[in-house]
Amino acid sequence: MTRLMLGRTLERICKGVLLLCLLHFLIMMILYFDVYSQRFDLFSRFNNGRNGSRNNVSGTGSGHHYYYYNLSRPNATFASYLATGEQLVQSMQPENNQTPSPKPLPPCPENPPGLVGRLLIEFSSQMTMERVQKENPNVTEGGRYTPPDCRPRWKVAIIIPFRHRENHLKYWLHYLHPILRRQKIDYGIYIINQLGEETFNRAKLLNVGYTEALKEAEYDCFIFSDVDLIPMDDRNLYHCYDQPRHFAIAMDKFGFRLPYAGYFGGVSGLSKKQFLKINGFPNEYWGWGGEDDDIYNRITLNGMKVSRPDVRIGRYRMIKHERDKHNEPNPQRFNKIQNTKNTMKKDGISSLTYKVVEVKKYPLYTNISVEIGKPPPRPVKG
C-alpha cells in the first residue's frame, strides 16, 4: 500500500515537471518570435496589410509592401533595425530609387475667396515701419511675396515713383501688403527714388522701375502707383488684363468720379507686351502733369483701349499733402500731349538713360536710388 501511494505520488510529480517544462518551452518560443520576428521577416510575410495598430514605418499604397516594426523594446530605434541586415535596408528603398514628386499647385482663383470688399482707410493713427513689418511676416526681403497654396496667374512688379515721401510710404505698405496677399498675387515692390533736387520726372522714374524690376525677375505685369493713393476695396485686383488697366478711377480728391474720359493717372497697369507696344512712357515730362495723358494717347494710338473696374470698386483715398518742391506744373505739357503721335516712337523705353546709385533691399520693399538727369533749358519766350 505504501509502495502504491509512493508510486502515484512520483507519477504526479513527473507529470507536473513535464507540464512545467512544456509551459517553459512555450513561453521561450513566444518570446523568441516576438523579439526576432522582424529580423527573420516571418510575421511580415503573413500579416501584410493587417495589424493596423502597429507602427507603420513604411508604406506606399496598393500593390506595395507595408513594413511594421516593434519599437517597444528599450532603446530600440528605427536605425537599429536597419543595421540588422543589408537585405532589410534594401527592402526599404523606394522602387527605382525615385523620390515622390511634389503635387503641383492648382492655379489661383480669378476671384480669391479671402477678399473682404470695402475697406476702412484712415491716416490719423501713427504708423511705423516696425509695426508694418510685424504685420507682414510672410513678405520676404525686398518686398517679395508668392502665395504658398496656389499658382499665381501673373508675376507683378509694383513700381512707385518716389522722393521725400517716407511717411506716405508707411501707410501705403501698411494697407497694400495685406490687400495684395489676399488677392493671391506673386509680387515685388520697387520704390524708384529720384536723387537730388532737380525737377521731378514721374514717367521717367516709371520707365526706370520697369527696367530694373526685370533685372530681378521675369515679371509679366507692371502696376505703376503713386505712393499717396490707397484702394478702398480689395476687389480692385492688382494684376494685368487684356487691355491696359486704369485702377484709380474714383478718388476722393475728385468726389469719387472720373475727372475726364481720358484720365489715366494715379494707379495703372500694363502687361509687358502692352508696355513695349507703346514704347513705355515718355521721358521728357519734367514737373507735374501731362505724362498720364500722353500715356493714354499712346494706348489709343496703338489700337488698344483702357479698361477700368466698376466705379464702386475703383475708389481710392489720397493722403493729403502739400505740393512737392521742384515738382511745379509743367508749362509745356499741353503742347507735348498734342504731339504724342510724333514723339512716342523716339521718346520712351527705347531712349531711356539713367544711372543707378544704390539698390537696397528692405524687409518690405526694394529701394532703387537713381540719377535721371535734369530737364533741358526752356526756350526763351519771344
> What's the rounded mean pLDDT across residues 339-357?
96
Higher pLDDT, 21 or 117: 117
Rounded Cα gap, residues 4 and 6, in angstroms: 5
**CA neighbor of 161 nearest in space, from 227, 219, 213:** 227
| % residues pLDDT > 70 (the chain) | 75
* Between 5 and 267, the higher pLDDT residue: 267
> What are the grid coordinates assigned to 281, written together?
512712357
DSSP assignment string, 308-352: ---TTTSEEEE---PPPTT--B-TTHHHHHHTHHHHTTTSSGGG-
Task: Give the pLDDT confidence of 268-300 residue by residue, as tens digits.
Answer: 999 999 999 999 999 999 997 889 999 999 999
Supply the pLDDT for residue 22.
Answer: 77
**Catalytic residue ranges:** 226, 228, 288, 291-292, 318, 321, 323
User: Is the pLDDT reported for residue 209 higher than 70?
Assistant: yes
More confident residue, 59 or 130: 130
Domain 139-371 in CATH: superfamily? Spore Coat Polysaccharide Biosynthesis Protein SpsA; Chain A (3.90.550.10)
Q: Say which residue the cell 508510486 belongs to.
A: 7
pLDDT of residue 231: 98
Model confidence at 96, pLDDT cuts 50, 70, 90, reads low
Q: Which residues pair with 229 in a beta bridge?
A: 318
Output the pLDDT for position 188.
98
Residue 5 pLDDT greater than 80, yes or no? no
Closest C-alpha among 313, 168, 310, 318 to residue 252: 318
Residue 74 has pLDDT above 70, yes or no: no
Please determine, for residue 50, whether its predicted confidence score (pLDDT) is greater than 70: no
Instruction: Grade residue 1 by pLDDT with cuts at 50, 70 and 90.
Output: low
Residue 174 has pLDDT above 80, yes or no: yes
Lowest mean pLDDT among 102-111, 228-237, 351-360: 102-111
Q: What is the pLDDT of residues 6-43, one digit of tens each?
A: 667 777 777 777 777 777 777 777 655 554 444 444 34
Task: Take residue 91 and report the three cell numbers written for it.
Answer: 527592402
Which cell goes with 147?
502665395
Task: Look at residues 64, 47, 134 and name the one whose alpha carbon lies nearest to residue 100.
Answer: 64
